[in-house]
Amino acid sequence: MTLNMLIMGPAGAGKGTMSELIEKKYNVAHISTGDMFRSEIKNNTELGQKATEYIKQGLLVPDEVTIAMVLKRMSQPDCDGGYLLDGFPRSLVQANVFDTKVIETPKEVNIVINLTVDKEALFDRIENRRICRQCGAVYNMHTLPPKVEGVCDNCGGELYQRADDNRESLERRMQSYEEETFPVLTHYRRLNLVHDVNASQTIEEVWADVQKVIDGFIAEHQEGK
Ligand code: AMP
């Protein structure tokens, strides 16, 4: 059985940081819809042009655009060995279309990791977040600063602040999370797939809890329970 996972949580919960660690340790395809959109925008593609205004404002990109992009990506062979969807599904329409595609197939979702954080902490994390242009590594100017200011420890790439990491956009992203994404969590909770992880802890502690969830799932399936 492959690891078919979703990672959920509001902006600033640490989805990107945990995804990097999960991808490395468990060797699954990491699919971040936010990263995919940013790359389309950078390359000025038709899809990027469609998405850019929504992202700048902190609104969700329309479902049909997002769903088509994810399903295309999911059909690539690296997803056959397990995947980690980061930032998708973010609306009930996305969840329903996605579930219908994967249900009773080897790609059916088996773990949903939900990162929970106090709302006040999120603003602070987002405003201090910096990302490597080259490898996507995530830093925090207070809690996880790079060794040299503005330079990625991993690859020497330039660090930047996301255009939508400002208060106005963040408030809209929080609102869209509560209104549109929260119901997705309720939906997966009903299917008994959700594992809540307290993401207000240190990165090491959050990572330890995330590994417990995934290793627990692996052990259960090895025992054939
Ligand atoms: P993220 O990097 O996950 O914070 O996503 C950045 C932005 O990309 C979001 O604020 C949305 O505008 C857009 N986006 C990412 N994933 C989705 C999705 N599943 N549905 C709609 N819009 C999305």
Specify if 44 maps to a domain: yes
Split into its structural domains, the chain has a count of 1
pLDDT digits (tens, 9 = 90+) for 56-90: 999 999 999 999 999 999 999 999 999 999 999 99
Distance set, CA 119 to CA 86, 126, 161, 219 (Å): 20, 11, 20, 34
Specify if 64 maps to a domain: yes
Distance from the alpha carbon of residue 222 to the mean position of ligand 1, in angstroms: 35
* Domain limits for position 108: 3-117+169-223
Active-site residue list: 15, 90, 129, 162, 173
Are 98 and 89 within 8 A, CB to CB? yes
Mutate to test the pocket of ligand 1, among 30, 37, 169 (most ligand atoms within 8 A of CB): 37
Specify if 127 maps to a domain: no
Task: Say if strands 83-86 and 29-32 run parallel, antiparallel, or are unpaired.
Answer: parallel
Give the pTM: 0.91
Specify if 112 maps to a domain: yes
pLDDT digits (tens, 9 = 90+) for 151-168: 999 999 999 999 899 889
